Amino acid sequence: MKFKTIFFLFNIIISFSFIFIFLFPLFLFGSVTYSTFFKNNWGALLVFILILLVFNTYFLKNFRLFSLLEAENWIELIKYLENKIYVKNKIKKNNIKMLLNAYLLTSNPEATLKLEKHLEQKKKSLVEFFSIQFGIPYLLNNKPDESEKFFGRLLASSATSNPNWIRWNYGLSLIQQNQLEVGQEQFMKLLEEDKDLILYLLTLYILKSFVPSNPDLKDKIEAGIHKITGKYNVYTWQKLVETQKSNVQVLVLSRIIDQATSWLFGYLESKDLEFDAEPEIIN
């Protein structure tokens, strides 16, 4: 529904409610009884007026923003939000969230990195709160040394949201630099966390490449596979993945998740795990 339609409908509903509640008794009971009614309920009238004022002020104040969102004009939306954040210094959570989404939709990782650097100086807590979104450029930039610093810094903060995903990213950056032992340690920690099954599968998928050098891992990985396949078949699993694509990292790693899914359910058919091949994401 269009924002303008919502605006007009809300005003019509509130106005109609006001007329019905405050004017209908006048016709029903007459002016004498109505005066008593009004004296006892004038506070409700103030509430109606306050609601109208707040709603209309909010809508008119954000009319430009709503119009750009409705038109899906991401370029102009980015300019609008950047002006609010960089020029007017209105660093609010909703502004940051919308701007990060607009950067993602327009494939603009450089702008995301610029915003991160700005917030590190102005409001660091928002980098930690939107850790996944700010981590996407590092996940894709093929510069694992920079990724290690960024994700390591986030992992050291107790305020970081989605710490398990950040640990996965951190471990990956270590492995990509051939820091295999410390990288494996990060994934072994994640193996104990199985609440997010997609992250759990990706952890198993990375760890399988360590089995040739660490045979003790094989039993743990097979146990992990049975933990997932005991609850899901390939169809219900794919439905689960679809429902989790609101997580931007799941969306970005969809190709790797597809590969891990094929490996996972391929085991059910062959009963033979492939441990020798490294996942593409490590290469």
φ, ψ of residue 76 in degrees (nearest 5): -70, -35
CB of 64 closer than 8 Å to CB of 84: no
Biggest distance spanned by C-alpha atoms of the chain: 93
Q: What is the pLDDT of residue 6?
A: 75
Q: Give per-residue pLDDT as tens, 186-239.
A: 999 999 887 899 999 999 999 999 998 888 899 999 999 999 999 999 999 999
Enter the pTM of the model: 0.82
- Per-residue pLDDT of 53-107, as tens digits, reads 888 888 888 889 988 998 899 999 999 999 999 999 999 999 999 999 999 999 9
How many domains does the chain contain in total?
1
Count of CB atoms within 10 A of residue 21's CB? 14
Does 54 reside within a domain? yes
Q: How many CB atoms lie within 10 A of CB 170?
A: 27
At 189 the pLDDT is 95
Mean pLDDT rounded to a whole number for the chain: 87
The answer to the question of residue 261 being in a domain is no
8 falls within a domain: yes
Locus of tokens 């990956």: 172
Q: At what angle do helices 63-71 and 3-22 cross, to 10 degrees?
A: 130
Q: What is the pLDDT of residues 6-57, one digit of tens each?
A: 777 877 887 777 776 666 666 666 665 666 666 766 666 777 778 888 888 8
Whether 216 is covered by a domain: the verdict is no
- Judge whether 264 lies within some domain: no
30 falls within a domain? yes
Q: Which tens digit of pLDDT belongs to each residue from 164-192?
A: 999 999 999 999 999 999 999 999 999 98
Residue 260 lies in a domain: no
- Given this model, what pLDDT does residue 183 score? 95
Asked whether residue 158 is domain-assigned, the answer is no
CA distances, 157 to each of 40, 119, 150, 241, 248 (Å): 55, 15, 11, 28, 21
Query: Shortest CA distance to 151 belongs to which of 138, 140, 141, 142?
Result: 138
By residue range, what is the domain housing residue 10?
1-61
